[in-house]
Structure 1
Amino acid sequence: MISTSGSVSVLANPTSMLSLEKYRTLSQVRQIHAYFIKTNLVNHTLSVGKLISVCTRSGLPGGLEYALLIFLRIQNPTSSFFHALIRDFSKIPSVLKACGRSYALKEGQQILGQILKTHLWFDPFVTNSVVRMFLELGEIDLARWVFDNMPVRDFISWNSLIMGYLRAGEIELACELFDEMPERDLVSCNAMIYGCGKHGKCELAEKIFMMMSVRDIVTWTTMISAYVLNHHPRKGLGLFREMLSLGIQPDAPAIVSVLSAIADLGFVEEGKWIHTYIATNKINHRSSFIGSALTDMYAKCGQIENAYRIFRSFSHQRSLGDWNSMITGLAIHGLGHEAIKLFQDMEKAELKPDSITFLGLLKACNHGVLVDEGRFYFEIMQAKYKIVPKIQHYGCIVDLLGRAGHLEEALGVICNMHLDPDVLIWKAILSASAKHNNIVIGEYAASRAIELAPDDSSCYVLLSNIYAIVGRWDDVAEVRSLMKKRGVRKIPGCSSILVNGKVHEFLVGKAMDVGINGDVISKTKELVSKLKLEGYTPDLDQVLLEIEDDEKESQLALHSEKMALAFGLTNIPHSPGVPIHIVKNLRICCDCHSFMKLVSKIYNRCIIIRDQNRFHHFENGCCSCKDHW
C-alpha cells in the first residue's frame, strides 16, 4: 500500500478505487499512478478509469492534462473504455479545448482519429470543438479539412471557421467562406465587419453593414470602431448620430469609439456634446474606459484643463489607463514637468507603470526639451521596472536626443537596440540632421529610411530639404527626379477649422469648399498685408525651391494654416475664452509659426493649432512650445 501524509492508505484492490476520491493533490495522484504501473494495474480498465476521473472531477491544477497523459498511454483501449473516458472528461470538447490551450497538436490529432471512429463524428457540438481546437493551434488547413468533411454543419461551424480566418488575417478566405454561407446570422456579419475593419478593409466592412436588414448594438458599435481604426472619424461620428436618431441606446464601447473619433478630428464642440449625453443619460463615465476616453478626447482637442478636471473627478478610482491618458495628454501639450509630477504621484499611489506610461513620459520629455530627464526615465524603465523598450520608446529617445543636437548619442542608441530600427527612427535622425545641418548623417539616415519605406514621400522631402539648405540644388533636383520616377507624391499640407458646426478644410492656396475659395484667398492675402505693416517678414528660407523671392513669398502667403486662420478671424466672433482652433496634418513651418504668434498679439486672439506632432497655444505673441517642435 501507499501511505500519504494525513490520509488513509490506498489498497491495491481494484474494487477499492472509490477511496481515490479522497485525494486532492496532483502529487498524490502521481504516487497512485506510479503504484498502478508497478503492480500492473494500468492494464485494469476500471482502475485506470477511476484514476482519470479523479484528475478530471476534483479540480486538480493540471489534472486535465495529466488525465490526457494517462489516457494516451493506454494500449488497445476498448470502445466501452472510450465511452467511459468521454463521460468522465465532462464530454470530449473539454479535452479538445485543453489540447488547444496546451498547444498539444499531436494529442489533438489522436483524439480526432478516435472521434472519426465513433458516432461522435456526427455530433456538431463535438466537430465544432475540433474546428476551434485546430484554429487555436494555428492549423487553419486542418480546421478547413474538418469543416469540409463534417457530416452536419450549423451556424457555429461556419462562424467558427470565419472567425478563425479573420483572427489569422486571412481576409480573402473569410470572405470566400462568408459568400458560400447558405444563410447568415448576426454573429457572422458582425464578425466580418470587425475582421475587415481590423485589417484595413473598411469599404468591405461598410458594404456588409449596409446590406444587413437586421442590426444589433454590436453591429453599430463594430462599424463605428472600424471607421475610427481606418482613419474615417467623420464617418464614425456620423454613424453614431444615425444610431441615436433611430433610438438605439449606445453601449460603452460605442461611446469610447466615438470619443476616439472626436479626438482624431480634434474639435471639442462635438466632444462636449457627447459628454453632455453621457451625463444626461446617467452613463457611468468610469465604466469600460469611458473616463479615460473623455480625458484623452479633451487633451487631443486642445482642452488640457478639462482633461485634468475629468481625471481629478475620479481620484479614488483611477485605473492605469486613466493615468496613462493624462500623462500622454500633458505630453502633447508640451507640459513635460507636469507629466513628470503626475508620474511621481502615480508612483506614490503604488500603481505600477507599464510600457504605455513610459511612452507618454518620454514624449513629455521630448516635447518639453527635457533631455536629462528623458535619459533618466528611459533608464529606470528598464532597470527599475524591468520593461523592455519597444520600438516606440526607442523612437522617442532618439528623437529627443537628435533634436537637442546629440546626433552621435542618438546613433549610439540605435546601434545598441535589440530591435531593428524602423522608418520612423531613421526619419527622426533625418529631421534632426536637417535641423542641425549635418549632411553626412542626414544622407545616411535618408538612405536607410528610403530603403525601408520607398513610397514614403517625407523621406525624400527631408533629404531634399537638407540639400536645399546648403544650396546643393543639383542634388535637390535628383531627389525630386527619383520621386517622380518612383511615382512618389508629396503629401499636401491640409488644415481644418470648425465654424458653426461645419468642418472647413484648406490646402495650399485652395479652400475645399468651392463657394468660399476666392473669398478666403483674398482675405488671407489681406491678412498677410496687414501683418507686414506690423513687422511681419516672410521667412523665405522655408521655401526650399530654386525660384524667385516673390514667388516664394506667394507660396508662403497661402499656406493652409494661414487660410484657415483668415477664415476663422472672419467667421468666429471675438469672445473671451473662445480660441480659434485649427488642426493640421503636417508639422507647422517656421514662417507660419511666427505668423501665428504675431496675429495672436495684434488681434488679441487665442489660437490653438494641433499639428502632426503636438499642440501650439498662441497667445500674446508667444507659443506654448517655446519655439521647440
Structure 2
Amino acid sequence: MKQVQQIHAYLIKTNLVNHTFTVSKLIAFCAVSRLPHSLAYASSVFNRIHSPNYFIFYVLIKGCCDNGDPLESITLYVHMLSCLNELNGISFSLPSVLRACGKLSAIREGQQVFAQVLKTHLLCDPFVSNSVVRMYLELGEIESARRVFDKMPERDLISWNSMLSGYLRAGQIELASRLFEEMPERDLVSCNAMIDGYGKSGSCELAKEVFRMTSEKDVVTWTSMISAYVSNHRPIEALDLFREMLSLGVKPDVPAIVSVLAAIADLGFIEEGKWLHAYICANKMKLSSGFIASALIDMYSKCGYIENAYDIFGRVSHERNIGDWNSMISGLAINGLGQQALEIFLDLERMDIKPDEITFVGLLNAFGHAGLVDEGQFYYKIMQEKYNIVPKLQHYGCLVDLYGRAGYLADALAVIQHMPVEADVLAWKSLLSASVKLSNVVIGEIAALQAIKLDPKDSSSYVLLSNIYAKAGRWDDVSKVRLLMKHRGVRKIPGCSSILIDGKVHQFLVAKDMDLRYNSEIIAKIEQLVSRLKLEGYEPDLSQVLQDVEENSKESLLYLHSEKMALAFGLLNTSKDTPIHIVKNLRICCDCHSFMKLVSKVCRHRIIVRDQNRFHHFDNGSCSCKDYW
C-alpha cells in the first residue's frame, strides 16, 4: 500500500488525478487487490472524483461485493443510476449487484434489479442472465430461478450447472436428476455436483453410476464419491476407493482425508487409522488445516484409543478450533470418561473459548455415560444461563438419556412431555432402551408406540418393545409385535460383530442354532471358554434369551451371540500381547458383558468392544464402564 500511495501522490503532483482513465486504474487495483485497507483507500479516491464513469463504478461495486461489503455494492449501484443518465453501461456492474442481493437475502432489491435487466433487454447477455439465476437460487427462490432459466435465449454450460447446483442445494434431487439427463453437454462440475447430491440424498448407487461413467476424474470427483460412501454408512467401500485413488496417483485433498478418517471411525479399526495418520505425517499435511486434527481425534476416540486422541489434541494446543475441543469431549464421552470430559470443558472455559451447542451435546453425553446426573443438571442450566444457548432436540435427548440410564424413568418421561418442541424418535428410543433395562413395561410401551409412530420402518423400536414383553413373560404380546413387523414389511437388523485380523475384516452374525455357517473350531473354543469360566463362577444370564424356548436350550443360544463368536475367533488368531478389538452394531447384552470380563481375567487378554452406544475396555476382569451402560 505504501507503493500505491506513492503512485497516487505522483498522480496528484502531475495533475493526472483528474485524468479519468488513469485514476480508474488506481481505483481498480485497490478495489480488487485484497491488500490491507485497500478497499477503503479505493473508496476514498472515488469520493474525490467529480464525474466517475461506468468502469470506475463497476470496479468499486465488484470490489465491495467480493470483499465482504455487499450492502455498499448496492448503495454504489443506486448512486451510479442517479449520476449517469444512460443505462447502456450497467451490464458490467449487474452480476456483482445481483450477487450482493443474493448474499444479503435482499429479495425486493433483487427483483428491482431484475426488472432493470428486462427493461434494458440484457437477459440475452449470458453473464447477466446467469447472475439472475444464481441470485434467485441464493435467495431460495427455486421456481423464479427456473422461470428465468427457461426464458434465457441462450443457455451455456454455466447456466445448466448453476441450475443443477441450485436444485441440489435445495434438496430437489429428482428435479436435479431430470435436469442432469436433459443437459446437452456435461463437464466435470456437472458430474461432481451430481455425485455429491446423490450421496447426500442417500442414493449411493446412483452416485456410483455417475462416478464410473465420468472418464476424466479430478480429486473432487474422488472425494465426492468417498464422502457419498461415508454418509451412507459404507465405510469399507470408502476405504477401498481411497486406496484405488492413491494407486492411480491422485493426491487426496483435505476433505478426502477427513472423509476417510470418518470412514475408519465408523469401522472402528485402529490399524487403518494409524496407517492414514502415517500418510498425513509423511505428506506433511498440517493438522490444523481443514479439521484434520478434529477428524483424527474423532477417529482415535471411536477406535477406543483415547490416549492417541489426547496426543493429537495436545499437538494442536496453540491452533485449536472449537471443533477440536468438541471432538475431544465427545471422544471422552463415548469412552465413558465423564470426569475427564468435564476437565477438558473447564480448560476450554479457562482459555476464554466460547463453547457452542455441539460442545454441550458432547458434555451432556459424557455425563450420561458416566452416571453423573447432578453434573448433567448443573451444566444444562449453565448452558442456558451463562452462554445463552437455547436447548435444541439434541440437548433434550441427552437429558432424557441421562435420566434414563440412571434409572429415573419418570424424570426422563417428564423431560419429553414438557419439551417446547415435539420429541424426535431418538428421544423416545432412549427412554425405551432404559425401560427395557429396568423392565418397566408401562413407560416402555408409551415410548415404543411413540417411536414406532414417528418412524414405522425402524426395526429397533419393535425389537425393544418385543424384548420388554419377553422379559415380562408376555409371549402373546411378543407374537403380536412380530406379526405387526411382518405385516409392515419391517425386518429386524441381526446382531453383527466385526473383528480385523491381518488387515481383513471378519464379520459374525448372531446364530439361531449350532449350524455349519461357523467354523467348528470357533464353536469348540466358545464351549472351552464356557467350561473354564464356570469354574470361575460364571452363571449364564438366561434372562437375556428373549425367545420362548425350553430352559436347557437358552444356554446354547447365549453362546451363539455374535460378539462371543468374534471373541473366540480373535483368541484363536491373535497373540496375548495384542488387544482384541470388536465392533458390534447393537448394544452388548448383560451376559456377553459378564463373559468378556471373565475372559479378560482368565485368558489375560485385553478386549475392547465398541457397541452401538459406547466403548467397553475389558482388562483383568473389570470393564471401563463400571457396569454402567
The residue aligned with 1:567 is 569
Following superposition, the deviation at residue 275 of structure 1 comes to 1.0
Q: How does 1:65-464 map to 2 (within 5 A)?
A: 65-66=74-75, 81-83=86-88, 86=90, 91-464=93-466
One-letter amino acid of the structure 2 residue matched with residue 306 of structure 1: N
Q: Where do 1:587-602 residues align within 5 Å?
A: 587-602=587-602
- CA shift at 1:119, angstroms? 4.7
Matched-pair contact (CA < 8 Å) for 1:55–1:63: no
Cα distance in 2 for partners of 1:364, 1:202 equals 33
Deviation at 1:57, TM superposition (A): 9.1
Counterpart-to-counterpart distance in 1, 2:348 and 2:300: 21
Indicate if the aligned counterparts of 2:597 and 2:623 stay in contact, CA closer than 8 A: yes
Of the structure 1 ranges 57-66 and 346-355, higher mean CA displacement relative to structure 2 is found in 57-66
The answer to whether the Cα contact below 8 Å between 2:71 and 2:104 also exists between their aligned partners in 1 is: no
CA distance in 1, matches of 2:193, 2:156: 16
Describe the SS at the equivalent of 1:288.
coil
Note the aligned Cα RMSD (angstroms). 2.9
Which moved further from structure 2: 491-500 or 58-67? 58-67
Which amino acid in the other structure matches residue 597 of structure 2? Answer: K
Aligned-pair distance for 1:470? 2.4
- Give the match for residue 36 of structure 1: none
> Counterpart in 1 of 2:615?
615
Cα drift, residue 549 of structure 1: 1.0
Cα distance, 1:106 vs structure 2: 4.2
SS at match of 2:499: strand
Q: Secondary structure at the match of 1:352?
A: coil
Deviations 1:498-543 (A, max 9, x none): 00110000001289x9986443333333333333343322110011
- The AA in structure 1 aligned to 2:621 is G
CA separation of 1:57/1:489 partners in 2, compared to 1, >3 Å: closer, same or farther? closer
* Aligned counterpart, 2:584: 584
Preserved CA contact (<8 Å) 1:55 1:66 = no
CA displacement at 1:128 relative to structure 2: 0.4
Deviations 1:347-392 (A, max 9, x none): 1111111111111111110111100001111110111111111211
Question: Post-superposition shift, 1:399?
Answer: 1.0
CA contact (8 A) 2:373 2:402 kept: yes
Amino acid at match of 1:353: P
Shift of 1:111: 3.2
Q: Are 2:617 and 1:626 equivalent residues in the alignment?
A: no
Separation (CA, whole Å) in 1 of partners of 2:269 and 2:63: 58
Kindly state the Cα deviation for residue 326 of structure 1 after the two structures are TM-superposed. 0.8
Aligned position for 2:14: none
Q: CA deviation at 1:102?
A: 3.5
Q: Equivalent residue for 2:6?
A: none
Task: Give the SS at the match of 1:626.
Answer: coil
Q: Aligned to 2:387, what secondary structure does the other structure show?
A: coil
- Residue aligned with 1:159, SS: helix
1:549-568 equivalences under 5 Å are 549-568=551-570
- 1:498 counterpart SS class: strand
Contact kept, 8 Å, 2:160 with 2:183, in 1: the verdict is yes
Unaligned runs of 5+ in 1: 1-17, 26-45
Deviations 1:143-192 (A, max 9, x none): 22222221222111110000001011111111111112222111111111
| 1:531 to 1:176, Cα distance in 2 relative to 1, 3 A | same
C-alpha separation between the residues in 2 aligned to 1:58 and 1:336?
50
- The structural deviation recorded for 1:131 is 0.8
Distance apart, 1:113 and its partner CA: 3.6
Of 299-308 and 521-530, deviating more is 521-530
Match of 1:31 in 2: none
Q: Distance in 1 between matches of 2:207 and 2:52?
A: 56
How far apart are 1:583 and its partner, in Å? Answer: 0.2
Measure how far apart 1:413 and its partner are.
1.7
| Rounded Cα–Cα distance in structure 2 between residues aligned with 1:364 and 1:571 | 34
* 2:62–2:93 CA contact under 8 A, matched in 1: no
Distance 2:241 2:111 in 1: 46
Counterpart in the other structure of 1:525: 527
Q: How many residues align?
A: 579
Structure 1 residue 468: Cα displacement:
2.3
Q: 1:567 to 1:409 in 2, by over 3 A?
A: same
Identity %: 64
Counterpart-to-counterpart distance in 1, 2:221 and 2:52:
52
Deviation at 1:475? Answer: 2.1
Partner of 1:489: 491
SS in 1 for 2:86: helix
Matched position secondary structure for 1:316: coil
> Secondary structure of 2:376's partner?
helix
